[in-house]
Amino acid sequence: MILATLVFVAWVLFFDRNNYLDSMELDRKIKAIEAEKEFYKQKIRDDSIVIAGMKDSAFLEQFARENFRMHRDGEEIYLIDEK
């Protein structure tokens, strides 16, 4: 009886098509993919705010100055390197 139980447990853990070790690996992959999904959802929310702000000319000017270092004619820009 004990031998049969041990054989069954070994079969389920290692040899079965849906064994325990493969299930644990798949669970880890699912958690990693769900975390990545949340990361991209947050990026979409952030980008949606930027896209909505592009309709406002003041926001558009601020965005261009901060991200593309654009400036008006005759204006001097000083870049500070933060390390």
For residue 13, pLDDT beyond 80: no
For residue 27, pLDDT beyond 90: yes
Which has the closest alpha carbon to 62: 54, 74, 42?
A: 54
Instruction: Please provide residue 3's backbone torsions phi and psi, each rounded to the nearest 5 degrees.
Output: -60, -40
22 within 8 A of 29, measured Cβ to Cβ: no
pLDDT digit string (tens) for 40-65?
A: 999 999 999 989 988 988 888 888 88
